[in-house]
Structure 1
Amino acid sequence: MQHQIPTLLRNIGEFQLAEQQKVKATDVSEKSLNQLVSYVDIESEKMLVEGLLRITPDAGFLTEEETTSIRNEEQYWIIDPIDGTTNYLFGHTKFCISIAFYELGKPTYAAIYVPADNELFTADKDGAYLNGEKFKCSSRTLSESLIATGFPYYKFDEMEAYLSTLKDLMQKTKGLRRMGSAAIDLAYTAIGRFDGFFELNLSPWDVAGGAYIVQQAGGHVTDFQNEENFVFGNNILAGNHAIHANLLKLIKSKNF
């Protein structure tokens, strides 16, 4: 698996980069408020499913664009063909392919590929890797940290709590960043480009791959209630072990 998947992801990434300048407004539709999709998302997902079935022929799938109905509760892939579709459609480079393989309800492999940077983040039972080189999370404290998040873009009922959290973190950290791709935010948290990440209103395919990479890099991942329901539970908090507890305390005080 570890040898076949990089080739698959890089081939799909080449397709995405080639198509990025060709996508027209008429190629884009809105699934719901600010949830954009184009033929590149659809074709990328089909290529992913086809390629992963060759590698794991018995696997099922949980996919963003619902191009397949194959299910298998014992082993399945959670995949996002383009995490950061809005970035992609506006010509930005921070988008990625994110996949995670689950066996008996637990992740055993994950990969996030950022085509524009040719960076492949992976994780397995032995650790986390960037282009094959093993890495660990940072050990910076909250006052030393750079924190990533995502802005609400389709659900706004917790806006006040969110803005209050941002206000506090602006004063307690070195800064905040918003990349526009939760999967990239998590990969960057895993490798120490960020020290923590939190976001609301996410889907399993947004976080499954990145969360496992953070964990295998030595980081800590929970939901906002300090439970483990971060893949299917709609919110996620990830960070190195030096700051996770402080971030959790702050977020809990906002009553999300």
Structure 2
Amino acid sequence: MDTADRASVARRAAEAGATVANERFRTRHDVEQKTEKTDVVTQADRDAQAAVIEVLREACPEDAVVGEEDDELKRVPESGPAWIVDPIDGTNNYVRGMRVWGTAVAAVLDGQPVAGASDFPALNDRYWTDGETTYRNGDRVTVSTKTDPEACVVTPTMWWDFDARGQYGRACQALADRFGDLRRMGCAQAELAAVADGSLDGVVTNLRAFPWDTVAGVAMIRAAGGRVTDLAGDRWRHDSVGLVASNGRIHDTLLEAAREIDES
């Protein structure tokens, strides 16, 4: 299967999961907590993941699947093909009836992203990449061309536990000191897609992000002309500490801000 085929499978799988989730959007949900009060899951998450995996198993029955829910793998294999699934990224938004959530599916080979798709049905936006170009609703998109940080909009992404809220405060302060404005969507894949299409200029966290929250969006940003690194400025991987994603033009300034988050 070539990369174009994997991109097509990712699109079909993301659409299948998003369709299941959207059918239950703004209906009653029994919400379960995972490890934190803001880390929640619903039966819709599980059923959407099952719909995604059904598509993947039909197309690529031997490939590994890394998924947020249930018993799927939790680590990305370093060799061979694999798929990374987030059935509902932004579950907190989803259960509150907010529209910013979606289903994300990424294809990786030997640990490197080669294609991906993120489907946001409540926003009527579908993103995908074949590793060379990124599309939104069929139209090619690219990162923004802004070079002045004071004219840029950026976001602190992921979520800091209650015992690390000082880091969240420092992230917001470091960004506010350098950039024109901040946004926080509560859905990492939506934030990364927004960098890919130029709606946002940068995304940053000092945390080690889960692959299902990030890999599809990272692939989109790179294919759209952007840059994604770890806190040291090295090329980001699914197991990197920190994630700094930008249009490339403001990356050094975003890195400066990111490195202040851990300072006490």
TM-score (norm 1): 0.90
Aligned counterparts of 1:125 and 1:210: Cα–Cα separation in 2: 11
Paired residue secondary structure (1:156): helix
Aligned counterparts of 1:124 and 1:30: Cα–Cα separation in 2: 35
Aligned counterparts of 1:117 and 1:161: Cα–Cα separation in 2: 31
Which residue identity is paired with 1:188?
A
CA 1:167–1:125 in structure 2 vs 1: closer, same or farther (change >3 Å)? closer
Aligned counterparts of 2:160 and 2:261: Cα–Cα separation in 1: 19
Are the aligned partners of 2:106 and 2:113 in contact in 1 as well (CA < 8 Å)?
A: yes
Which position in structure 2 is the counterpart of 1:207?
A: 214
Which position in structure 1 is the counterpart of 2:95?
A: 89
Structure 2's unaligned 5+ residue stretches are: none
Which position in structure 1 is the counterpart of 2:242?
A: 235
Are the aligned partners of 1:221 and 1:236 in contact in 2 as well (CA < 8 Å)?
A: yes
Q: Is 1:195 matched up with 2:201?
A: yes
Are the aligned partners of 1:99 and 1:111 in contact in 2 as well (CA < 8 Å)?
A: yes
Which position in structure 2 is the counterpart of 1:28?
A: 31
Q: Is 1:220 matched up with 2:203?
A: no
Are the aligned partners of 1:46 and 1:67 in contact in 2 as well (CA < 8 Å)?
A: no
Which position in structure 2 is the counterpart of 1:52?
A: 56
Are the aligned partners of 2:131 and 2:219 in contact in 1 as well (CA < 8 Å)?
A: no
User: Identity over the aligned pairs, expressed in percent?
Assistant: 26
Matches within 5 A, 1:87-166: 87-141=93-147, 142-150=149-157, 152-154=159-161, 156-157=163-164, 159-166=165-172
Are the aligned partners of 1:145 and 1:195 in contact in 2 as well (CA < 8 Å)?
A: yes
Per-residue deviation, 1:17: 1.8
TM-score (norm 2): 0.88
Q: Is 1:179 matched up with 2:185?
A: yes
Per-residue deviation, 1:217: 0.4
Q: After TM superposition, where is structure 1 displaced by more than 6 Å over at least 4 residues in a row? A: none
Q: Is 1:19 matched up with 2:47?
A: no
CA RMSD of aligned residues (A): 2.2
Stretch moving more, 165-174 or 76-85: 165-174
Which structure has greater strand proportion?
A: 1
Per-residue deviation, 1:87: 0.4
Deviations 1:183-224 (A, max 9, x none): 100000111000000123521110011011001100000111
Per-residue deviation, 1:69: 5.5
Per-residue deviation, 1:153: 4.4
